[in-house]
Structure 1
């Protein structure tokens, strides 16, 4: 569980609304950094983009309000861009702030953090810069990339969801995913702080990958064609290691592989053969 923090304002809060384009925002806190009452507020209208806060000072409130009212987004993922060092990150829920990332979290690399988007409120991310005096300010940038994910439907087999894919979603995912590989689960690592799980995979055959997530490596128990890679998913899905070969399919977010569907390979073959006989396939899948 993430700790809850309630912010009670002892001084009047001055909210400054910042201009932004639909997806991205870059701004400076230098001019207002010495006034503890000021909160910069940004509203972004896309399902993915970036925020760059130069000379971070005091607080920045980012509301994600995509112009797609008919689609329900239930998960938000953010990646440090280029860094969140020196700022605490909160999720705002009905006036309360839940701590997601601490200012001195000892992070390395561009880590990804995910959280559930509360209803009926739109996702709000709140950054609070660490204390600095004007004499010690340096040109540093605090920022992140964001992406909203929605529940998978029959029209999209790529989005993150914890339930198993149905037959139609499997047949669509194998045709439209950013990666399709067959292989074994070597291990699963859970990170409660980032609310994600990492599935370590050894592949026996790669059908498609749009990025270099799966790299060729020597493995003593599989063929020389094997590749090693890591696939990320949400912690709430409670992924566990399993025996046998799986067909891993999904999409690329933040230069990382994110899991969409992962049926056992023999089960997928059975579904595919039946669909092909009934002429219900969406594309041709290469059979061994």
Structure 2
């Protein structure tokens, strides 16, 4: 057991070691640092400039103020967009299951709103929290360390994602992002735009639907007959060379298994596929052929 002076020396040495980790990633997408190197009562200013990344705050002490300024394309649109950008930015943060030692607030024009509380003994995994920023509004995240006697286990880590014109179909938290229209079927214009802008475009059949009441999510298990596009390996090859994967959507949409072939589109959200537009394949082909005949098709899709 260390004496009082020995313990103090260990903390000093640990502080010097952690200072080396107070760094940005080379592309300024992520940050890692330690509260042991911060002055008491100080607020460290951090700025990240990517559409997605992470923050790891070891032994939280004092506070951090995080500004997120993604370099997004000027014409970024979501799968339900109409080809133009409103300038709206939607951000989501996903705390790690071991998140402990701090609280995360949304700072909007000097007003703080609690997004994530300190959760040392909670049995439930932390929820994804989302919020939107209108054009011209200054938004930041404020992380406040909570006092604890034991510094050895405290690590406040989370991942973030930001998108331009991310529509309600991809929102996860009804407290911060409106769900109006999230379960509405897409019209022909939205379907064709989804094919052009989605992270995945897959033709397939619904094998089953699993509902998670706690997370308010439905998981659609899909057998894919054709993968036109996918970000990451969402639909890997399974038995007999078929491809299978999972797509998530809001529980309130009440998705049920149905016969027939569908065209699934959507976004990748923290490594998971989230449903955008999902017309029956025959309805997509009808809309696609009509748009091509009138020279109004926004992009080409390989024919079967």
Between Structure 1 and Structure 2, the one with more helix by share is 2
Contact 2:237 2:244 in 1 (8 A): yes
Unpaired runs of 5+ residues, structure 1, are 1-17, 219-223
Give RMSD over aligned pairs.
3.9
Q: 3-state DSSP class of the match of 2:104?
A: strand
Which of 206, 210, 231 is equivalent to 1:184?
206
Matched, 1:241 2:240: no
Contact 2:248 2:275 in 1 (8 A): yes
Compute the displacement of 1:45 (Å). Answer: 3.4
Partner of 1:49: 53
Partner of 1:8: none
Partner of 2:99: 84
User: TM-score, with normalisation over the residues of structure 1?
Assistant: 0.67
Compute the displacement of 1:118 (Å). Answer: 4.9
Partner of 1:113: 128
Aligned mates of 2:139, 2:217 — CA distance in 1:
22
Partner of 2:3: none
Partner of 1:12: none
Unpaired runs of 5+ residues, structure 2, are 1-21, 75-84, 172-180
Aligned mates of 2:117, 2:243 — CA distance in 1:
33
1:105-164: per-residue Cα shift (whole Å, max 9, x none)? 3355xx76131225464343233334233xx423764222211123269xxxx9878365
Between Structure 1 and Structure 2, the one with more strand by share is 1
Mark the CA change 1:190 to 1:150 in structure 2 (over 3 Å): closer, same or farther. Answer: farther
Partner of 2:16: none
Aligned mates of 1:87, 1:251 — CA distance in 2:
30
- Aligned positions of 1:1-288 closer than 5 A: 22-32=28-38, 35=40, 37-66=41-70, 72-80=87-95, 83-94=98-109, 95-104=111-120, 105-106=122-123, 113-119=128-134, 121-133=137-149, 136-138=150-152, 141-151=155-165, 162=182, 164-181=185-202, 182-184=204-206, 186-187=208-209, 189=211, 197-208=217-228, 209-215=230-236, 227-233=243-249, 235=250, 238-242=252-256, 243-244=258-259, 245-281=261-297, 282-287=299-304
Aligned pairs, number: 251
Mark the CA change 1:73 to 1:184 in structure 2 (over 3 Å): closer, same or farther. Answer: same
Aligned mates of 1:192, 1:264 — CA distance in 2:
29
Q: 3-state DSSP class of the match of 1:50?
A: strand
User: TM-score, with normalisation over the residues of structure 2?
Assistant: 0.64
Q: 3-state DSSP class of the match of 1:85?
A: coil
Aligned mates of 1:38, 1:215 — CA distance in 2:
48
Aligned mates of 2:113, 2:127 — CA distance in 1:
19
Mark the CA change 1:228 to 1:86 in structure 2 (over 3 Å): closer, same or farther. Answer: farther
Compute the displacement of 1:271 (Å). Answer: 0.9
